[in-house]
Amino acid sequence: MKFLTLVLGLLVLATLGAQEGQDGKVAVTGAVATHDPTVVKVGQTYLRFSSGRGVPVAVSPDLIHWELGGQVFSQNPEWTSVKIPGSGDFWAPDVVLRGSQWRLYYAVSTFGSNRSAIGLAVNQALDPKRPTEGWVDRGTVLESFREDDFNAIDPQIAQDKAGEDWLVYGSFWSGIHMRLLAADGTLVPRGQDVALASRPEEPHALEGAYLLSHGGNYYLFVSFDFCCRGKRSTYNIRVGRSESFAGPYVDRDGKPLLQGGGTLLKASEDPDYGPGHNSVLDDGGKEYIVYHTYDARYGGMSRLRISLLGWDDAGWPLVP
């Protein structure tokens, strides 16, 4: 029955758009080497932001053909090396539009450490022809220290039913959390910390959360296991669901994500290994899941993947 549901869901996906193949996948070309991608649409142009030096940007007219567009920061903001010695590349950006202001959240850390910070840059007039211009750094939004039980990386901005923004974040340690943001995009002082997902047993490996509202429910996507090992990467995308924005989130079998639950959504499949760190693009009512894999055809290099996000009759997401 689950197999039949998946097949029917993919048939629905294949009828939704001309730029996707019959399997619901977008056949991306050009500058598709990327890690932790997120895509926004400005006018008729798609902009992709990802992990890397200065937050790399790529540009596409159609989600298919991608060209490099520079980087948000020509030089890293001074605070990043002062607070996080040894940091270089910025990780896992998330970009949202609030009013007329674009906000870019990015992570500053070093591999394997929870001495980390999430920064914020803003742009009052993001020009898709010059996507690296106009960004002004606003400094630190959230920090974690070695004595903390959380890791302030992998930011994502989710909005509740009241229209308030929350910063979703976390990696390993005690897992995924979120905190309320003020109207200017910074943390509400002494705001509540809400725990969303955790893997209590070793190796505590989950990160890259994305909280999505769909069909009256909320869905929490997370990446289990290990990235960044090329063809040996074991990343996989999991999901849980809740009727409440703050949870509790449970998987299809009813296991809470706070207890290590998570329904498998996308796993390794030759030649794409370690699919993970997804975001979701809502393009005029069509939802696309955006993520990276490690492509065995290119020596395990991380590369962009985009597919239509479908839904089965029980309200669970489908990814081809």
Q: Report whether 74 contacts 57 (CB < 8 A).
A: no
Catalytic residue among 36, 137, 154, 251: 36
173-181 long-range CB contacts below 8 Å, 24 or more apart?
173/114, 173/148, 173/149, 173/204, 174/149, 174/150, 174/198, 175/150, 175/199, 175/204, 175/206, 175/258, 176/206, 176/207, 176/209, 176/220, 176/222, 176/257, 177/150, 178/211, 178/246, 179/142, 181/157
φ, ψ for residue 298, nearest 5 deg: -125, 35
Catalytic residue among 207, 225, 251, 295: 207
Burial of 276 (0-12, 13-18, 19+ CB in 10 A): buried
Clarify whether 133 is annotated catalytic.
Answer: no
Clarify whether 207 is annotated catalytic.
Answer: yes
Nearest-CA neighbor of 296 among 237, 234, 230?
230
Query: What span, in angstroms and rounded, lies between the C-alpha atoms of 166 and 180?
Result: 4
Catalytic amino acids?
36, 207
